[in-house]
Amino acid sequence: MKNAVIGNNKQKANLIVLGAVPRLLYLLQQGSSSPELRTECAVVLGSLAMGTENNIKSLVDCHIIPALLQGLLYPDLIFIEACLRCLRTVFISPVTPVQLLYTDPTVIPHLMSLLSRSQRTQEYITQIFSHCCKTPEHQTVLFNYGAIQNIAPLLISPSYKVRMQALKCFSVLAYENTQVSMTLVNVLVDGELLSQVFVRMMQRDQPIEMQLTAAKCLTYMCRAGAIRTDDSCIVLKTLPCLVRMCSKERLLEERVEGAETLAYLMEPDVELQRIASTTDHLVAMLADYFKYPSSVSAITDIKRLDHDLKHAHELRQAAFKLYASLGSNDEDIRKKVTFSCVCIFVPVKLCGSTVSR
């Protein structure tokens, strides 16, 4: 079954229709099943979960989540990792109700206890947390069960995947949460303040995904009042990093996320707005958000062109948010933004042809 369904959504759907999921779950939960058999069942279920959204819905309807969570109580590490990998795949799907993670109050503390078992358990559990933390209530549950002290050491893990998922966890925990942010600002990781760990992760030699997520963490801590807006880690590190994310060299998703995060960071602070407006020609840079598709991308990368066409509205929306944030307080910045918008949106007649002013 495992070999039949790998990379084949049609076969996955066929097996689900034929009733494979209840049988696999039965074998997975049978006390007489060997650890090897239970692990193979979890692997097949994980492969089925990598199919379509309808596959995920079928698995959830068969109560796969409670069965896999129960499987985490077994001592066999390989089986635990297989269960967590499958749970991760199920929970990152938008059709899975994240509340299922919080139904049993013993689940979160048990997941916290499994963080020390291996790098794989660390990666899968932190990814589950980051995808299932959607509300202030979820933030509170994770906070109360020791998420900060358990996840903070993972930021210096030798595994990039573990560091990245831990960082994403902190970004969702800190978002609009004063209690979490005030705690984070005093956390030490291997003798270094957590905010300085985030600053190191924003350095240009780090992967873009890490730079952007670390900047989001510091942005959320700043907006929650845990870090002053005139702190050097905000003015000299976070803001310039987010401006870099808006450049046309970045991928579409990175530019959207960078612009929206930057708008959120400086929204209430006029001094940050002034600094941003003069950093790397940001106002002019935003004009590129309205120039999709470009002739260059049409020639060099058809796939990227198609992607940009489908998501061009996200770029425009992010640019408008940033324009609004930039011009919300200072009249000089507002004039600069207005002039930029006029150049983009108001065509004029010149020498018999229509050009942008």
| In the chain, % of residues over pLDDT 70 | 89
Question: Using 50, 70 and 90 to split pLDDT, how confident is the model at 120?
Answer: very high
Mean pLDDT over 153-174 rounds to: 98
* Span 127-163, pLDDT tens digits: 999 999 999 999 999 999 999 999 999 999 999 999 9
Tokens matching residue 335: 């004039």
Tell whether the model's pLDDT for residue 334 goes beyond 80: no
Q: What is the spatial distance between Cα 244 and Cα 255, in angstroms, rounded to a whole number?
A: 9
Tell whether the model's pLDDT for residue 353 goes beyond 90: no
Q: What is the spatial distance between Cα 54 and Cα 45, in angstroms, rounded to a whole number?
A: 14
Q: What is the spatial distance between Cα 13 and Cα 5, in angstroms, rounded to a whole number?
A: 9
Tokens matching residue 88: 């991760």
Q: What is the spatial distance between Cα 94 and Cα 226, in angstroms, rounded to a whole number?
A: 31
- Looking at CATH, the fold of the domain delimited by 105-221 is given as Leucine-rich Repeat Variant (1.25.10)
Q: With beta carbons less than 8 A apart as the criterion, state whether 176 and 220 touch.
A: yes
**What is the DSSP track for 30-47?**
-TTS-HHHHHHHHHHHHH
Domain ranges of the chain: 1-96, 105-221, 228-344
Residue type, position 94, single letter: P
CATH number belonging to the domain at 1-96, selected among 1.10.357.10, 3.90.1210.10, 3.40.50.10680, 1.25.10.10: 1.25.10.10
Mean pLDDT over 42-49 rounds to: 95
Residue type, position 213, single letter: T
- List Cα–Cα distances, 68 to 3, 76, 79, 346, in angstroms: 21, 13, 10, 58
| In the chain, % of residues over pLDDT 90 | 73
Question: Using 50, 70 and 90 to split pLDDT, how confident is the model at 51?
Answer: confident
* Span 246-268, pLDDT tens digits: 998 898 889 999 999 999 999 99
Backbone angles phi, psi at 61, to 5 degrees: -65, -25
Mean pLDDT over 304-329 rounds to: 81
CA end-to-end distance (rounded Å), the chain: 63
Tokens matching residue 259: 């612009």
Kindly report the pTM of this predicted structure.
0.88
Q: What is the SS3 assignment for 283-320?
A: HHHHHHHHCCCCHHHHHHCHHHHHHHHHHHHHHHHHHH
Same fold, 1-96 and 105-221: yes
- The per-residue pLDDT of the chain, averaged, comes to 90
Q: What is the spatial distance between Cα 101 and Cα 73, in angstroms, rounded to a whole number?
A: 15
User: In a 3-state reduction of DSSP, which class is residue 17?
Assistant: helix
Tokens matching residue 181: 């942010």
Tokens matching residue 123: 């990666």
| Beta pairing, strands 192-193 & 347-350 | unpaired
Residue 214's contacts (CB-CB under 8 Å, 6 or more residues apart) are 167, 198, 199, 201, 202, 206, 241
Residue 338's contacts (CB-CB under 8 Å, 6 or more residues apart) are 327
Mean pLDDT over 175-183 rounds to: 97
